[in-house]
A and B are shown apart, each in its own frame.
Chain A
């Protein structure tokens, strides 16, 4: 049987490779199955052609359904008879060594490249027969079917055997892989960042519109969070697929080299680690964060921290819910500054903490923005009677627009700041060390 790649031919090859139908009966089975499928298609087409011009709508659908049902019923019976016939045939005539070899070679032929399958099969057949003859000479008798099967199984699965003759066995070659891997990682990080910024920005815009319309801001729900994660995963999967497809296509171009015609002068400084912050900046950051944490903790009892307006304010309902998260964030920032001061060589750890802190900061600001509760409320008892009617409205508007601006500025700043950190992430610490040790060992 000439190997083709149609669905039916693939199915038949599968049936053949699994040995479900006896080799002798296989042609009958294949012809029978083809006849059954053709009968089904022809009966259905004839029914449609006859009934189509006469009836329409529900009546036509009913006629076609009945026809389909009856055709399928008879096809199942016919297929059952074909299967029964082949089973009887198989039981009556078990496989012989020669037929097993032929079947094995046919199976290999189905997977071989189309240009010279006969040549390859003939050579494999000569090898297998020579091995069988040697074995027969050793045993002094013809081989049994089981012994032949042992030899054939040792040669390997037909798909694997044929796979060795295929021109290309990989999607991304070893010379392209480093470029592919670097591009993939960069693309995934950028896609993740862009997705987070866009996904976080959309609710802000919606919030602004809602604020303009004096409507209540939307809440962050569990379903919304799952949707955010699911869409994010799909975006990353799409980026992975696109990058892989592009590199696989480039790999198939003969003579393609991702390195190109490079010179040392043309090398960019992209691989160099970003210049580290001076130590004094981290020290200042450590002290300032500690001071801010102290002010934050003391604020409910000492509201003058908020400035002159503090005497009119007191903690709102949202204060209790964010107090612990804020303290943890500040502590994490202090840990980051401390690690940068004490162990600056922990590059990956520092980068991971930095990125995590920035993400947590954005999430925190987002929560504040979405929260319907107020962080601070006006202590009306302390407000002079003349300003009492204006002050709450001013405070609410200032809180809303202040948190919105803070969130946008923080998002933009973090996006810019994270890029060198992400580039630094790709660099191995040992490469940094190697890069600085140019002096020969004494």
Chain B
């Protein structure tokens, strides 16, 4: 039961981060398989059944652009961040940095302890 609960919460936590990771990785042009491998190498493994529909959705939303091109005698679809995607990515990264900072403060507990201390004085 606890393992299942943890897995659900972990997936929920990862869901938003994956989009950020994919957008960040596609600042450099990549095709699907290489993108999947590079994400896995960075510790953000994603299965192809999640990645490819996500790429198509992000492309439909205008955050990515794609192009079919031949490489090593095979047609591959290369993705990269669109200009609009770049703007969104920088705003999302700011948001992420803010969330991360807040989370760290909450986890370390310093500001709340300080506030309590001030209130007692």
Known contacts A126-B32, A131-B33; A155 and B49 CB within 8 A of each other:
yes
Q: Residues of A contacting B49 with CB < 8 Å? A: 155-156, 160-161, 164
Answer yes or no: B75 CB below 8 A from chain A CBs: yes
Interface residue from A122, A127, A161, A165 paired with B56 (Cβ < 8 Å)? A165
Residue of B nearest to A154 (CB): B47
Residues 44 to 91 of chain B near chain A (Cβ within 8 Å): 48-50, 52-53, 56, 68, 74-77
| Chain B residues within 8 Å of chain A by Cβ, number | 16
Known contacts A122-B75, A123-B77, A127-B48; A164 and B53 CB within 8 A of each other:
yes
B30 shortest CB reach to chain A, Å: 12
Q: Residues of B contacting A123 with CB < 8 Å? A: 32, 52, 77
Q: Residues of B contacting A120 with CB < 8 Å? A: 52, 56
| Chain A residues within 8 Å of chain B by Cβ, number | 15
Interface residue from B33, B50, B56, B68 paired with A130 (Cβ < 8 Å)? B33
The docked-state distance in angstroms from the alpha carbon of A60 to that of B52 is 60
Q: Residues of A contacting B48 with CB < 8 Å? A: 124, 127, 155
A242 shortest CB reach to chain B, Å: 33
Residues 81 to 130 of chain A near chain B (Cβ within 8 Å): 120, 122-124, 126-127, 129-130
Interface centre among A122, A124, A164 (most CB of B within 10 A): A164
B41 shortest CB reach to chain A, Å: 13
The docked-state distance in angstroms from the alpha carbon of A120 to that of B49 is 11
A127 touches B75 (CB 8 A): no
Residue of A nearest to B51 (CB): A127
The docked-state distance in angstroms from the alpha carbon of A124 to that of B76 is 10
Q: Residues of A contacting B68 with CB < 8 Å? A: 122
Q: Residues of B contacting A155 with CB < 8 Å? A: 48-49
B75 shortest CB reach to chain A, Å: 7
B64 shortest CB reach to chain A, Å: 13
Q: Residues of B contacting A160 with CB < 8 Å? A: 49
B3 shortest CB reach to chain A, Å: 22
Interface centre among B31, B36, B48, B53 (most CB of A within 10 A): B48
Known contacts A126-B33, A130-B33, A155-B48; A165 and B53 CB within 8 A of each other:
yes
A126 touches B74 (CB 8 A): yes
10 closest A-B pairs (Cβ-Cβ)? A130-B33, A164-B53, A127-B33, A126-B76, A164-B49, A123-B77, A127-B32, A127-B48, A161-B49, A165-B53
Contacts from A to B (Cβ < 8 Å): 120, 122-124, 126-127, 129-131, 155-156, 160-161, 164-165
With A127-B32, A127-B36, A164-B52 known, 16 other A-B pairs at CB within 8 A are: A120-B52, A122-B75, A123-B77, A124-B48, A126-B32, A126-B74, A126-B75, A126-B77, A129-B74, A130-B33, A131-B33, A155-B48, A155-B49, A156-B49, A161-B49, A165-B52
